[in-house]
Amino acid sequence: MAEQTDNINCSICLNGFTEPKTTACGHQFCVKCLEDYVSKVGKDNRFPCPLCREDVTIPDGGIKNLSSTGKTETTASKTCDGCKSTPVAEFQCVNCNKCLCPSCKIPHDSFFSDHHVFGINETANIQKGRKTFCSRHITEKLEFYCQDCCQIICKICMLSSHQDHKTPEICDYGSEAKEELQKLKEQLDEKKVEFQNYSDEINKKINNMNESVRTTCAKIDQQVETICDDVTRGGKQLKEEVKSTCNEEELKLVQIADDTNKLIVQIEKVTENITNILNGDLIYDVFDVLPDTRKQRDDCKSYDLTMAYDVRNKFDKGQIIASTLQEMLGTLQIIRGPTLKHGFNYKVLYTGKDEWFYSPVFKIQDRSWYIRARNKSYKNGNTISNYLDLGMVTYFGDRLIGPCTGQVTMELIRIPNSYTTYPSTKTFTQTFEPPFSKLTWKKIVSYSELSSYCYSTDGPYFTVQCTIAITDIKKC
């Protein structure tokens, strides 16, 4: 059986225990942390202990039926098992588990020369996780590190279970392990700065949004003052709409900022623990924390920071006409979503007839968005003509994200001094369903006329602009 632990925090989540469960090897973890861990690495109703890697059998009924204990007790003073008279033993035998005073240790060592005797304090350190001897081969020192299994092992383990693995000696690999752990800490620190900047950006957008509310409300007040008392009620209704809508958007942005701050706090806890280990003098702690730190680093790398969008209000004053109170007061536009732009090469589309070409990905609210364009052949009787088609595709990825309803405005940007009369703007309102959805705007302009939209900076490009406003997000 592996050593007991008196840690006050779960070694998986690094927080205080929640419904602690104790494995057969004596280590404690939160029940939810252990269930998540077992779901990933468990096999044939067994799993390796996250700390000592000892094989643990899952009881009938699952992890929740493991022993539920509180904090393990700290090591107490022990009486000599030899003479029974010495109140406090100073030594303990690993093989026969006898506590010995200095006098009884002498004959014990003479009769049992192959046994390993340690000072009580040293044994306590072993029980706290500072391992020096193998838990399976208790007489063998832990002298090697298996890079394939991320585990400290003894010589017998190396020869029996890790023959084909990379198993350098601890004394040779220690500096490299410390260097890797330091790099992991630096990478986590970098992600922390990135998350902090992202959180600051969200807060800045919240402030800008609130400033927009104040500015818009002031303009509405100025307009209302020039109108008779009959339209005052309409002005108040518009202000409430502005505030209500922006409050909803603020809740969304605050939630994003809160989630990001939680990641920052989590990284701070991990890096603080790494700093304590790196400042210590026990290399075993470095090896123990390496797997979890690598996983933490990989989790941070896999976390996508979605595009933070601006929420602004636009109020256009209307002409004061007694017959139409709404026109007298003006119109209100709440601009929720970001505006995306992409330039497509006219000649590339021409050579790839009937083939869609896509913009780079835009990340908006956990979804990936692409602008697309093609040169499409359409048949009209015996005549075939080519037209420009535009569209958008949204991809939800592997995350459990519900469908969303949005308003997408697409615009083919005219260059200055262009006198084309073709419609160049269209608004779509539709529900986007996972895993991916698309919309298409067909036959916008004949391909021969498209050149009037092109500019020649690095080639014949035309620009497509899209504004996306998510109006409703449904739960999975």
SS3 371: strand
pLDDT of residue 168: 92
Per-residue pLDDT of the chain (476 residues; tens, 9 = 90+): 344 344 567 888 878 788 888 888 778 889 998 898 888 888 888 888 888 778 888 888 888 888 875 443 334 467 787 776 655 677 877 667 778 887 788 777 777 766 667 776 554 444 444 446 787 787 788 889 998 888 889 999 988 889 889 999 988 888 888 888 899 999 999 989 988 988 888 888 888 888 988 888 888 888 777 776 665 667 778 788 888 888 888 888 888 888 888 888 888 888 888 898 888 888 888 888 888 888 888 888 777 777 777 777 887 876 655 556 666 667 666 666 678 889 898 888 888 788 999 999 888 767 888 999 999 999 888 888 899 999 999 887 666 567 778 788 888 887 665 555 556 788 888 888 888 888 999 988 888 888 777 766 556 888 899 888 776 666 55
Which among 453, 424, 248 has a CA at the least distance from the CA of 345? 453
pLDDT of residue 356: 93
Other CB atoms closer than 10 Å to residue 119's CB: what's the count? 12
- Which CATH code fits 91-172? 3.30.160.60
- d(CA 92, CA 130) in angstroms, rounded, equals 16
CB 16 within 8 A of CB 9: yes
- d(CA 83, CA 30) in angstroms, rounded, equals 42
Q: What would you measure as the largest C-alpha separation in the chain, in angstroms?
A: 113
The first and second tokens of residue 430, run together, are 């539709």
Other CB atoms closer than 10 Å to residue 226's CB: what's the count? 10
- d(CA 466, CA 445) in angstroms, rounded, equals 17
CATH fold of 337-473 reads 2.60.210
* Strands (DSSP E) found in 72-141: 91-93, 99-100, 117-119
- Provide the residue ranges of all domains of the chain, joining segments of one domain with +: 1-73, 91-172, 175-308, 337-473
Residue 210 carries which side chain, given as an amino acid letter? Answer: N
Q: Are strands 383-395 and 28-30 parallel, antiparallel or unpaired?
A: unpaired
pLDDT of residue 390: 93
CA dihedral sign, ordered 103, 104, 105, 107: positive
Which among 436, 461, 439, 456 has a CA at the least distance from the CA of 341? 461
CATH fold of 1-73 reads Herpes Virus-1 (3.30.40)
Which among 303, 299, 305 has a CA at the least distance from the CA of 40? 299
Q: Is the pTM of this model over 0.85?
A: no
pLDDT of residue 419: 55
Is 24 buried (19+), middle (13-18) or exposed (0-12) by CB count in 10 A?
Answer: middle
CB 373 within 8 A of CB 344: yes
Domains 1-73 and 337-473 share a fold: no
Which among 101, 140, 52 has a CA at the least distance from the CA of 93? 101
Instruction: Please compute Rg for the chain using Cα positions.
Output: 34
- d(CA 109, CA 115) in angstroms, rounded, equals 7
Other CB atoms closer than 10 Å to residue 200's CB: what's the count? 12
pLDDT of residue 70: 42
Q: Which helix (H) or strand (E) holds 343?
A: strand 339-345
